[in-house]
Copies of this chain bind each other. A is one copy, B any other.
Amino acid sequence: MHKPFYRDFKLGILGGGQLGRMLVQSCIDFNVRTHVLDPDPLAPCSTNCDIFVQGSFQDFETVLDFGRQVDMLTIEIENVNVHALYALSAQGVAVFPQPHVIGLIQDKGLQKQFYATHGFPTSSFQLLETGSDLSSYSGAFPAVLKWRKAGYDGKGVQLFKQQPEQNWYTDRPCLLEQCLPIQHEIAAIVARNQDGACSIYPLVEMVFDPKANLVDYLFSPARISDSIANEINKIALAIADTLGIVGLLAIEFFVDTNNEVFVNEMAPRPHNSGHHSINANVTSQFEQHLRAILGLPLGDTRILSPSVMLNILGQPNHTGLAHFEGIEDILGISGVCLHLYGKVKTAPYRKMGHLTIIDEHIDQALSKVEQIRKRLKVVSAENL
């Protein structure tokens, strides 16, 4: 196997979205060459990786062929063909995170069973087979129905405030979770390397846009007590150790109105909730993922400054060639760091980029968020 630092080491990345794009940016600093597989020829990675391969990361043969060209394989999306990863692993290709971790996390049902089996606190839930009736659910309402597989950014998620009046059948295997009275949504970014060393970033707090069902903004550090933070840190590190993951693991938590902590869900990769780390922490989550999978010591996760991260989303009702209204203007706001994802076309709530606002005072940063929201709009010329 080639070694990193020598420009001949090839890292394969399944998925060519913004997470891959920012991972590639970190690879440059480590002399790591990148091969990226994505079905979209205009994917965010297509312009900045070394070799871009157009193809489906869900297709067995495609992933197998792609994986054989590289020294190590990683992911930037978990919805990949895990059978191909097992096959490549058996053939001696290093695959991090490991196929068993990706397989478990791909299935929200298995994820919940994992938390329950190992005693990690999570909301009560029930698994529903394809075609089963919602009336078979014995838990309390409101409840959230989620596809077990392939749900993403609000896709495959439905809220039921009460038992539906008419019979309601699931069209695929689903997970039904009881809703909690949420006080805080917290993200923990953990890394675990090949030696089993673990590190965790200072916790971040997420604020959701209920319309888009996406993270609207997050701030770091989270505004929670030390005792709650300690409890979350302990659970997050224990989950990484129990999984034995090599790589980055993002875990979302709920803190309910009784200050009780619940694991919501996890992703075995860099995550939207860690984007601020590029500008506001010593080591970015992308470099940390790289250090973990390459068998290197983990980096310093310390905060350099409090910060707020804001997703730049496509305006609702706008589809087509993207136009960034007001972008020159908001770059004049002090502490604003811009990261665009190279997407040519916008769509409603599409993630087109993000901004990190560096400010010692979170309140001041949040007032800048309000200014930015008024001025910056991603629209399409066709819809103006």
Contacts and interface: CB of A to CB of B under 8 A. Distances in A.
B283 A29 contact: no
A340 B31 contact: yes
A280 B358 CA distance: 12
B282 A331 contact: no
B337 A282 contact: yes
B322 A6 contact: yes
Given A6-B324, A300-B334, 18 more contacts: A5-B327, A7-B344, A21-B28, A25-B25, A25-B28, A28-B48, A29-B338, A29-B339, A30-B340, A31-B340, A31-B342, A33-B47, A47-B50, A279-B282, A296-B331, A302-B335, A304-B304, A304-B305
A382 to B, nearest CB: 15
A337 B283 contact: yes
A7 B342 contact: yes
A344 B31 CA distance: 9
A5 B33 CA distance: 25
Interface in A296-339: 296-297, 299-300, 302, 304-305, 322-324, 327-328, 331-332, 334-339
Q: Which bracket fits the contact residues of A?
A: 35 or more
A269 interface: no
Contacts of A295: 328
Contacts of A7: 47, 342, 344
Q: Which 9 A-B pairs have the closest CB atoms?
A: A297-B332, A304-B304, A31-B340, A29-B339, A300-B334, A5-B324, A282-B358, A297-B331, A300-B335
Interface string A276-291: 0001101100000001
28 contacts: A5-B324, A5-B327, A5-B340, A6-B322, A6-B323, A6-B324, A7-B342, A7-B344, A21-B28, A25-B25, A28-B47, A30-B340, A31-B340, A33-B47, A47-B50, A48-B48, A280-B304, A282-B305, A282-B335, A283-B337, A295-B328, A296-B331, A297-B328, A297-B332, A299-B337, A300-B358, A302-B358, A304-B358
Interface string A100-136: 0000000000000000000000000000000000000
Interface of A: 5-7, 21, 25, 28-31, 33, 47-48, 50, 279-280, 282-283, 291, 295-297, 299-300, 302, 304-305, 322-324, 327-328, 331-332, 334-340, 342, 344, 358
Nearest to A341: B31
A368 to B, nearest CB: 12
B299 A28 contact: no
Nearest to A282: B358
A297 B30 CA distance: 31
Contact of A28 (B50, B280, B342): B342
A48 B21 CA distance: 12
A331 B30 CA distance: 11
Contacts of A31: 340, 342
